[in-house]
């Protein structure tokens, strides 16, 4: 193997990495002679990034091509590829009313779940941050992080139990306070909020940890200056904390929106799309189309459309929310 | 705090305590603690319920009005059935093995490629990273079938490498490592290069030494994802002895009724290692996540 | 370093890195489970998705080992989770080599609708004709060909009325005289319902299955009513749904059901599954299959129960399982070991002793005629009900390829009506239109 390292590790005399002015290097079309060190960097870059590139090829590019193949040919799980059907299946998927209503359901779920998670985790992180006077912060952080580590497959059925309208724990507690029982997962109007509660439970600890990280990075001086100026705690929160946490807020909101749009386990395990398809989210619909109804080509088309949509949404989110944070 | 005590005069502390702002502050603390405490209880309820249900009989589970505690707290029959009638130890072992393989593999490969994306400039870097991001967006339930077919052609079905499968790396891992390594000052690397270190040397001595927090985060995330992974082990395991714990648990959900006793017992076993690990290492883990500065 | 050398060397490296990564994969190939080489004993794989049939493994494993020993083969029996068996089977079938040789599923769907099963060899088929109870024929003999026989854990002959005699006595009804017509069922339910101060049901007269999840759940629970009123989910013979799913009979049946949940309010939609309700004394009557005979004493030993036939509606024909719950082993039609598989099934599954032993373990009803003469069957408290079901079966089986989608859509309409979101007529009219589109697509 020595020759590999010899080749890649081009022996460089000790110049600094850049012997050529930056401007020239930024022109991709300019055929510049790169320094040996630069060449080594480039080759090592490819070498080290190769696992990642291979991974993306294997797990993303090839499956996407397969999805296109599924859609263009009538691919059946049992018999293999069928006739070439062109864009017929794609058009069918676009015209499918149930598909679009499932997209709407997913959107509604995102609206319920993501802002709640964001706000609650932000508040919890602030309450457990270094500056907060509350005791037992470390313990609380641990407790809130516990749901993140559990498997939804195990806990979903427990949640079904807790949410049971007749003998579930939540309605029993409500009854003790004299409140009317809530139908939770069994009513079309309350099923999405109930699933959102489960989502918050699973994700809160993780977002809280990220926000705590961001909070630690805000210099103490800002708050001291604010106190000297006579600002109240909530004013400090609005004017100092929130703007400076912007990178974290952006990152968390993007991650959570993607996660909520992609959500599959929750509706699959808890309600399987019911009651009356009120919780039939997109990925669940695609999955059912593929495996329960045995219509793989339609599922492939629906999946492609969904992927494009999610890509667009994420890009739009990035555009809208990128603000440079100046200290 | 210490200086306050050392330089105190008589009456200082009493004056402190009785200041109007102080009372409001204390009230705020109590209120805050109550809310957070309720939140913590909310976080814990499903765990506690699962653990308790593992000790109940069928009749106790469906009892109405509900009873929290099992009649006999030491009723280990469910666990007994679990161990005797189902290869649950094997399932547990499989979960551990598969998780370990995917964690080790992920950390190594993600650190290497994270460094490449963060610090090394090469043609196509942005495109490749965009591919990684696109991978984050794609739901796995949609892409697993072609992967399964590929694995099948390679005769890897029902083998440990097969069950690890696409988990040998992680798009999120690449993302995290890249973000963190970007935060390592370039000067270290330039200095090392000037000293004549090879890229591999830089990787080993500098990047890996400094990435402790990010690697810890990655280990935690990968462990969670891998341990709780359901769909992939489901299609890859052909025999019961190769199933992981999460898949094995699902056999308790039959067409006619859900066997909550065994499901809860298995779920408790499934959750226990992570909770134990977490409680033991929690300071380090959460601080690692905090310090990894996911900015 | 000149450019020419570097390009060649670069190619070498570009191959080296991926190769290095596939080394572990190749090592994995050397790992266990390489079965395809035909030298040496053949291996038969059987996947069981009917995990409710707890007796299957207990009974079949020793028989399988004996058969394997005398046939220079090996048999591997695996339970796969019911909840995702469709996914797993579809994935396995799409990669032919990993498909199981035998799989225990809902036979009418996988053999009839999906067409993935191998028909029985003639000799075995003739034996089935003679030995299996006739009523089961439409479920397992599809288009004149045998594909499977019940696995001893199937819930035929279909739902029965299960009721609590103590509750009957409590309200002054005679336990020996269960309701025989649908209107009687409603009357009895009204008498048996107990409410608390606020009017909420504490004990329903009848447990109407409300299942927010899979369509098959509530579809099967509405079908007894539907078929006793002469309705059909869709017409399997003509493949039509318009006019069938929303026929006057179907609307009448659904209307009748809404009496239970909406008008007279004798069924609670808040409690859990009917069997749990019944066991917890939260309901006095329910429609459930015959395996309650074994299941209730196992799980709720204190509850008393008796069986009766499904009450008559406008007809006295009983529904069977209608292809929605007819479990049985199928042989994969592209398996290279088909003949071996059939021999295995012939000698193990399709024997009277396997049939009887599995049934006894779970409280199920055996499928072989000779087993019906056994003490186990004759001693069953629902023996008379079983006899009635045998002679009054209507023989309809739903075997369309899109049965899953159709029953999901149909169940949606049923749920909508039961919850009062739509009138029965509207719900079924819309369902019929959608189902017609599904059938045509």
- Report for A14-28, B176-190, C172-186: range of highest mean pLDDT: C172-186
User: Domain segments of chain A: what residues?
Assistant: 2-72, 94-321
B161, B239, B240: residue with CB nearest C25: B161
Question: Is the CB of residue A8 less than 8 Å away from at least one CB of chain C?
Answer: yes
Residue C5 in this model has a pLDDT that exceeds 70: no
The CA distance from A267 to B90, in Å, is 30
Residue B289 in this model has a pLDDT that exceeds 70: no
Q: What's the pLDDT tens digit per position in C105-148?
A: 888 888 877 888 889 888 888 888 888 887 777 778 888 888 88
**Cβ–Cβ contacts within 10 Å for residue C99, how many?**
22
Question: Is the CB of residue B128 less than 8 Å away from at least one CB of chain C?
Answer: no
CB contacts of B88 in chain A (<8 Å) are none
Q: Which residues of chain A have pLDDT under 70?
A: 1-34, 154, 166-167, 321-327
Specify the pLDDT at position C25: 41
Q: Contact, B167 vs B225, CB < 8 A?
A: yes
Q: Which of residues 79-138 of A touch B (CB under 8 A)?
A: 120, 124, 127-128, 132-136, 138
Angle (CA) B244 B254 C161, round 5°? 175
Specify the pLDDT at position A106: 92
Rounded to an integer, the average pLDDT of C367-395 is 83
SS3 B256: coil
SS3 content of chain C, % helix, strand, coil (to 5): 50, 15, 35
Which of B58, B229, B238, B261 would you mutate first to test chain C, the one with the most C CBs within 10 A? B238
The CA distance from B110 to B178, in Å, is 9
Specify the pLDDT at position C34: 35
ipTM reported for the complex, 2 dp = 0.79
Specify the pLDDT at position B157: 86
Rounded to an integer, the average pLDDT of C183-208 is 83
Q: Which fold has domain A94-321?
A: MetI-like fold (1.10.3720)
pLDDT band at B294 (very low <50, low <70, confident <90, very high): very low
Specify the pLDDT at position B287: 64
Specify the pLDDT at position B12: 65
CB contacts of A116 in chain B (<8 Å) are none
Q: What's the pLDDT tens digit per position in C70-109?
A: 888 888 888 888 888 888 898 888 888 888 999 998 888 8
Give all chains having 3 or more CB-to-CB distances under 8 Å with chain C: A, B
Q: How far is B269 from chain C (nearest CA, A)?
A: 19
Question: Is the CB of residue B130 less than 8 Å away from at least one CB of chain A?
Answer: no
C282–B64 CB contact, under 8 Å: yes
Answer with the residue of higher pLDDT: C392 or C38: C392
CATH no., domain C159-317+402-440: 3.40.190.10
Question: What homologous superfamily is domain C42-153+325-391 in, according to CATH?
Answer: Periplasmic binding protein-like II (3.40.190.10)
Angle (CA) C281 C282 C283, round 5°? 90
Q: How far is C75 from chain A (nearest CA, A)?
A: 24
**Cβ–Cβ contacts within 10 Å for residue A175, how many?**
12
Question: Is the CB of residue A32 less than 8 Å away from at least one CB of chain B?
Answer: no
CA-to-CA dists, residue C76 to A305, B240, C73, C103, angstroms: 41, 10, 10, 11
Q: Contact, C192 vs C168, CB < 8 A?
A: yes
Q: How far is B148 from chain C (nearest CA, A)?
A: 7
A271–C419 CB contact, under 8 Å: no
Q: What's the pLDDT tens digit per position in C219-260?
A: 567 888 888 888 888 888 888 888 888 888 888 888 888 888
Nearest CA in chain A to B109: A51
The CA distance from C85 to C48, in Å, is 9
User: Domain segments of chain C: what residues?
Assistant: 42-153+325-391, 159-317+402-440
The CA distance from B86 to B79, in Å, is 10
């Amino acid at each position: 193997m020595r020759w590999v390292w010899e080749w890649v590790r081009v022996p460089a005399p000790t110049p600094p990495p850049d012997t050529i002015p930056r401007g020239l290097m930024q022109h991709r079309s300019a055929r510049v002679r790169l320094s040996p060190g630069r060449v080594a960097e480039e080759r090592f870059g490819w070498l080290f990034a190769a696992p990642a590139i291979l991974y993306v090829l294997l797990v993303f590019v090839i499956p996407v091509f397969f999805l296109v193949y599924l859609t263009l040919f009538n691919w059946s799980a049992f018999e293999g590829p069928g006739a070439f059907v062109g864009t017929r299946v794609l058009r069918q998927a676009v015209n499918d009313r149930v598909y679009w209503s499932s997209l709407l359901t997913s959107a509604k779920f995102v609206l319920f779940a993501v802002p709640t998670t964001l706000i609650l985790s932000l508040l919890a992180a602030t309450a457990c941050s270094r500056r907060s006077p509350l005791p037992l912060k470390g313990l609380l952080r641990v407790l809130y992080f516990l749901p993140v580590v559990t498997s939804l497959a195990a806990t979903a059925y427990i949640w079904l139990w807790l949410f049971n309208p007749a003998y579930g724990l939540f309605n029993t507690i409500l009854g003790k306070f004299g409140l009317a029982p809530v139908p939770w997962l069994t009513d079309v109007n309350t099923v999405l909020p109930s699933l959102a509660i489960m989502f918050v439970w699973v994700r809160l600890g993780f977002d809280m940890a990220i926000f705590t990280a961001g909070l630690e990075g805000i210099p103490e001086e800002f708050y001291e200056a604010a106190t000297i100026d006579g600002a109240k705690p909530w004013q400090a929160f609005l004017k100092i904390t929130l703007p400076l946490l912007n990178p974290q807020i952006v990152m968390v909101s993007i991650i959570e929106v993607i996660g909520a749009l992609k959500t599959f386990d929750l509706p699959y395990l808890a309600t399987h799309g019911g009651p009356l398809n009120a919780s039939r989210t997109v990925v669940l619909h695609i999955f059912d189309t593929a495996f329960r109804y045995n219509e793989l080509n339609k599922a492939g088309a629906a999946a492609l459309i969904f992927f494009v949509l999610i890509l667009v949404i994420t890009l739009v989110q990035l555009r809208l929310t990128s603000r440079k944070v100046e200290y | 705090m210490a200086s306050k005590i050392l330089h105190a005069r008589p009456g200082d502390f009493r004056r402190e305590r009785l200041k109007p702002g102080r009372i409001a502050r204390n009230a705020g603390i109590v209120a805050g603690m109550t809310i957070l405490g309720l939140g913590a209880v909310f976080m814990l309820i499903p765990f506690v319920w699962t653990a308790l249900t593992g000790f109940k009989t069928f009749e106790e589970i469906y009892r109405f009005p509900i009873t929290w505690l099992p009649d006999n707290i030491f009723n280990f029959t469910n666990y007994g059935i679990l161990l005797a009638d189902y290869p649950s130890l094997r399932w547990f072992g499989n979960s551990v093995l598969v998780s370990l393989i995917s964690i080790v593999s992920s950390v190594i490969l993600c650190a290497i490629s994270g460094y490449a994306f963060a610090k090394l400039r090469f043609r196509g870097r942005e495109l490749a990273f965009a591919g990684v991001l696109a991978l984050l967006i794609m739901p796995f339930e949609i892409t697993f079938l072609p992967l399964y077919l590929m694995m099948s052609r390679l005769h890897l079905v029902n083998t440990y490498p097969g069950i690890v499968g696409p988990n040998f790396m992680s798009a999120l891992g690449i993302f995290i490592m890249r973000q963190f390594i970007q935060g390592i000052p370039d000067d270290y690397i330039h200095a090392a290069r000037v000293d004549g270190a090879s890229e591999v040397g830089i990787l080993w001595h500098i990047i890996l030494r400094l990435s402790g927090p990010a690697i810890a985060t990655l280990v935690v995330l990968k462990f969670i994802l891998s341990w709780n992974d359901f769909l992939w082990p489901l299609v890859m395991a052909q025999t019961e002895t190769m199933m992981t714990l999460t898949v094995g648990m699902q056999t308790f959900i039959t067409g006619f009724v859900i066997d909550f006793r065994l499901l809860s017992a298995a779920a408790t076993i499934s959750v226990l290692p992570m909770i134990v690990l977490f409680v033991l290492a929690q300071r380090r883990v959460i601080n690692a996540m905090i310090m990894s500065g996911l900015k | 370093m000149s450019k020419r050398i570097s390009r060649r060397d670069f190619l070498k490296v570009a191959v080296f890195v991926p190769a290095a990564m596939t080394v572990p994969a190749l090592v994995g190939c050397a790992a266990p489970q390489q079965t395809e080489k035909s030298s040496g004993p053949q291996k038969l794989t059987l996947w069981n998705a009917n995990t409710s049939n707890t007796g299957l493994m207990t009974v079949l494993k020793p028989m399988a080992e004996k058969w394997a020993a005398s046939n220079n083969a090996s048999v591997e029996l695996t339970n796969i989770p019911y909840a995702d068996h469709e996914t797993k089977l579809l994935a396995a079938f799409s990669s032919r080599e990993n498909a199981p040789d035998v799989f225990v599923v809902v036979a009418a769907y996988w053999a009839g609708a999906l067409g993935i099963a191998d028909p029985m060899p003639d000799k075995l088929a003739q034996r089935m004709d003679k030995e299996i109870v006739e009523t089961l024929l439409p479920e397992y003999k599809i288009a004149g060909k045998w594909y499977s026989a019940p696995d001893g854990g199937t819930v035929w002959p279909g739902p029965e009325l299960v009721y609590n005699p103590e509750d009957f006595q409590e309200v002054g009804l005679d336990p020996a005289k269960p309701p025989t017509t649908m209107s009687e069922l409603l009357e009895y339910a009204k008498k048996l319902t107990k409410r608390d101060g606020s009017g909420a049901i504490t004990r329903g007269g009848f447990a109407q299955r409300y299942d927010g999840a899979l369509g098959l759940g509530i579809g099967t629970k509405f079908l007894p009513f539907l078929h006793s009123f002469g309705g059909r989910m869709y017409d399997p013979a003509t493949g039509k749904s318009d006019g069938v799913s929303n026929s006057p009979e179907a609307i009448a049946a659904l209307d009748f059901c809404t009496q239970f949940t909406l008008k007279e309010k004798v069924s609670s939609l808040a409690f859990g599954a009917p069997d749990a309700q019944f066991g917890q004394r939260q309901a006095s009557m329910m429609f459930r299959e015959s395996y309650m005979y074994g299941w209730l004493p196992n799980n709720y030993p204190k509850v008393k129960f008796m069986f009766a036939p499904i009450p008559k509606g406008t007809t006295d024909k009983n529904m069977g399982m209608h292809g929605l719950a007819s479990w049985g082993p199928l042989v994969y039609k592209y398996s290279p070991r088909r003949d071996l598989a059939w021999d295995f099934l012939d000698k193990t599954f399709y024997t009277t002793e396997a049939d009887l032993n599995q049934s006894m373990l779970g409280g199920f009803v055996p499928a072989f005629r000779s087993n019906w003469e056994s003490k186990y069957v004759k001693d069953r408290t629902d023996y008379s009900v079983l006899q009635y079901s045998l002679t009054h079966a209507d023989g309809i089986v739903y075997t369309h390829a899109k049965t899953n989608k159709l029953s999901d859509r149909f169940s949606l309409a049923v749920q909508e009506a039961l919850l009062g979101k739509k009138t029965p007529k509207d719900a079924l009219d819309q369902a019929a239109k959608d189902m017609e589109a599904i059938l045509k697509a």
